[in-house]
Copies of this chain bind each other. A is one copy, B any other.
Amino acid sequence: MDLRHLRYFIAVAEEQNIGRAATRLHISQPPLTRQIQQLEEELGVRLLNRTPRGVELTQAGALFLDEARNIRAVVEQATERTQRAGQGKLGRLDVGIFGTAILDAIPKLLLAFRRSYPEVKIVLHTMNKGEQIEALRQRRITVGFNRMLAPLPDITTRLVANERLLLAMSHTSPLAAQESVPFPALRDHPLVLFPTGARPNFIDKVMTLCHEAGFEPLVSQEVSDAITGVALAAGGFGVCLVPESTTSLALPGVIYKPLTGLPDHAQVDLSCIYRSDDQSPILEAFLGTIEQMRSTLQSGAALTE
């Protein structure tokens, strides 16, 4: 049996007349007669009673007509859904994010994407840099978000946002009186550094900046993540360099100050990563959304709302 048989049978049943149905189907009458006979033979069921002025459905034929219309509808819906999936409008997007950096830019981006593609289910997975790479390769996620990524041949990196560095400290810190802090002034202050994850990491970056400014930092403590770092800074362990978006973390007793005298490359990136050979339309759609959000997500803008 074939969808053609169903289409033909529906026409015949609706016209109650094989000749008219043939006209409607843009074929001639004899092949239609044969197709219907074939259908009946294959089912082993008499679907039509032939009369001198047309045909009429048997009881089985009437039931089959219902079934045929239902099948037609199911097929149409399947086609339509598949096409939407093929256009990236329907499906699922697994996103790898890392704990504390998922502030500001990423929610904005995901919200914009969800507005444009409401039928794509976004599934978030919290994982660190190495886990994201691994998950991308195993197709467990389609995109990841991270900072300071070393280039890899099979993973494409795309900058989403750049953020300035700020200094987090306790409100009792001697630096708290100033409106802004010149970077070289940090030479005399113990630093809380994070994260202690896979290299290259933010600690490496801070160390490099200090060396470029001509001093060896006083390392008070190295911790695993931003929350811990800011918490220790608030507790007076030292000052802590953080990306601007971290200011969303309003821990009690902590204040943030801008830094002066930093080079341009002192900004810290937030990047999106995905498999270089991934051609899925949902990824295309997501990258398109990033492109549209480009200006909104760049440095500074991240704090405007």
CA–CA, A83 and B64, complex, Å = 9
Q: Which residues of A from 41 to 88 have beta carbons under 8 Å from B?
A: 43-47, 49, 58-60, 63-64, 67-68, 70-71, 74-75, 77-79, 81-83, 85-86
Would B45 and A63 count as touching, CB distance under 8 A? no
Residue of B nearest to A283 (CB): B59
CA–CA, A294 and B90, complex, Å = 63
Q: Chain A 258-275 against B: per-residue CB contact (8 Å), 1 yes, 0 no?
A: 000000000000000000
Given the interface pairs A1-B79, A3-B1, the reply to whether A60 lies near B45 with Cβ below 8 Å is no
Of the candidates B68, B74, B79, B86, the one whose C-beta lies within 8 Å of that of A46 is B86
Would B3 and A60 count as touching, CB distance under 8 A? no
Given the interface pairs A1-B79, A4-B2, A280-B59, the reply to whether A44 lies near B86 with Cβ below 8 Å is yes
Q: Which of A45, A82, A90 has the most CB of B within 10 A?
A: A82
Would A64 and B82 count as touching, CB distance under 8 A? yes
CA–CA, A78 and B83, complex, Å = 26
Q: Which residues of A from 103 to 142 have beta carbons under 8 Å from B?
A: none
CA–CA, A281 and B63, complex, Å = 14
CB distance from A10 to the nearest CB of B (A): 13
CB distance from A82 to the nearest CB of B (A): 4
On chain A, which size bracket covers the interface? Answer: 35 or more
CA–CA, A44 and B83, complex, Å = 7
Would B60 and A71 count as touching, CB distance under 8 A? no
Assess whether A282 is interfacial by the CB under 8 Å rule: yes
Would A78 and B70 count as touching, CB distance under 8 A? yes
CA–CA, A169 and B2, complex, Å = 69
Assess whether A92 is interfacial by the CB under 8 Å rule: yes
Would B85 and A59 count as touching, CB distance under 8 A? yes
Given the interface pairs A59-B91, A59-B280, A75-B71, the reply to whether A45 lies near B85 with Cβ below 8 Å is yes
Given the interface pairs A64-B82, A70-B74, the reply to whether A92 lies near B1 with Cβ below 8 Å is no
Would A85 and B60 count as touching, CB distance under 8 A? yes
Of the candidates B3, B71, B81, B85, the one whose C-beta lies within 8 Å of that of A78 is B71
Would B59 and A82 count as touching, CB distance under 8 A? no
**Chain B residues positioned under 8 Å from A67 (CB to CB):** 77-78, 81-82
**Chain B residues positioned under 8 Å from A43 (CB to CB):** 79, 82-83, 86
Q: Which of A60, A71, A78 has the most CB of B within 10 A?
A: A60
Q: A1-B79, A46-B279, A58-B280 are in contact. List 13 more A-B contacts (CB 8 A).
A: A2-B2, A2-B3, A2-B4, A43-B86, A44-B86, A45-B86, A59-B282, A60-B86, A60-B91, A60-B281, A63-B81, A68-B78, A74-B74
12 contacts between A and B (CB under 8 A): A43-B79, A43-B83, A44-B86, A45-B85, A59-B85, A59-B280, A63-B85, A63-B90, A63-B91, A70-B74, A71-B71, A71-B75
